[in-house]
Amino acid sequence: MAIDVTQRRGERESEGAYAPPSQAAPPSPVTAPYRPPRPPTTATKAAPAAAVNASYPVGSYTSWTGDPAQGAVPAGEYNVLESLLGEFEALIGYQSELGPAELLELANHGIQTLSDLGRFAVSWWPAQFGAILSAMPWAKYGLTKDEYASAASTYGTEYKKITGQDISPDALQQAFQNPRDPTGGLLNTSQYQQQLMNDANIQKQFGWVKYGLDYSAWTQQKLSLRGAFGRDINDAEAATILQYHKASSGPQYGVVARQVGRQGAPTAGEGVGGSVAR
């Protein structure tokens, strides 16, 4: 007798013969026991940050070359001073040399510019550089010969414009020694003019400066007063008249050419506060 396969399979499925196998539950995760981290050994401990590339502070260097951590000048400062030294020696025509001892001294004094080096040489090494820098004054200020000549001409012209006199060696030296800012740069024309006009010694020696006049304006003012008075006016008389008009006009005072003689101006004999020039 033939077997109905389809019928037989259905009977078997109803009996559970073809049911899918049951899946076992997944195993629970295994928790590893806690172990505290190991302390680092001496060999693996990191060095403190402050100890890395440590160097001595400026003023306490003990050697020109070597390990900065042992007191040597750091590489950055070493390179700057080596460069400045080459420039300075060129300015003085290689007439004198600086060795490691002098360079260490420069480093300990914080020398950072060519003008710093020149001023230091004048003050600290006069025996070695005094005669050289007297003959080559441009090196005192870290300038080339042409730069020095140009600045000296500018200062001389401005000085004569205000005072009517040639600039003296002392006044010229003072002009170069008065930097316009902490960087040590030289005064430009307008800055030097302002410095002269505000200088108490200049005002005392050249009385017209205190009234905001340069020598040309002062001379023109005297000519105007001569026309107003009908006679020559000397410096003392002109200064007295200017002082009178400044006092009567207050801070808005301006020098004007008018018939001052008709306005009750004081005579020269009444005096002038402060000293005036010839």
Q: Please list the pLDDT of the chain residue by residue as tens digits (278 residues).
A: 555 556 666 665 665 555 555 555 555 555 555 555 555 544 434 434 433 456 788 888 999 999 999 999 999 999 999 999 999 999 999 999 889 999 999 999 999 999 899 999 999 999 999 999 999 999 999 999 999 999 999 999 999 999 999 999 999 999 998 766 666 678 999 999 999 999 999 999 998 898 889 999 988 888 888 788 778 777 777 777 777 766 766 554 444 443 333 344 434 333 333 333 33
> In degrees to the nearest 10, what's the CA dihedral of 241, 166, 195, 278?
-20
pTM: predicted TM-score of the whole model, two decimal places: 0.64
pLDDT at 102: 93
> To which residue do tokens 């006069």 refer?
126
What's the rounded Cα separation, in Å, for the pair 160 and 154? 10
What's the rounded Cα separation, in Å, for the pair 265 and 3? 154
Give every CB contact of residue 178 below 8 A, 6+ residues apart in sequence. Answer: 187, 195
pLDDT at 29: 54
Neighbours of 272 (CB within 10 A): 19
pLDDT at 41: 42
pLDDT at 223: 85
- In the structure encoding, which two tokens stand for residue 65, read together? 């070359």
What's the rounded Cα separation, in Å, for the pair 45 and 3? 84
| Helices H / strands E in the chain, number of each | 11, 0
Q: Is 145 helix (H, G, I), strand (E, B) or coil?
A: helix
What's the rounded Cα separation, in Å, for the pair 155 and 172? 7
What's the rounded Cα separation, in Å, for the pair 121 and 137? 12
- Give me the helix-helix angle, 75-91 and 114-124, nearest 10°: 70
- Reported as half-sphere exposure (CB side, CA atoms, 13 A), residue 220 has a value of 8
What's the rounded Cα separation, in Å, for the pair 150 and 138? 11
- In the structure encoding, which two tokens stand for residue 114, read together? 């060519």
What's the rounded Cα separation, in Å, for the pair 201 and 147? 28
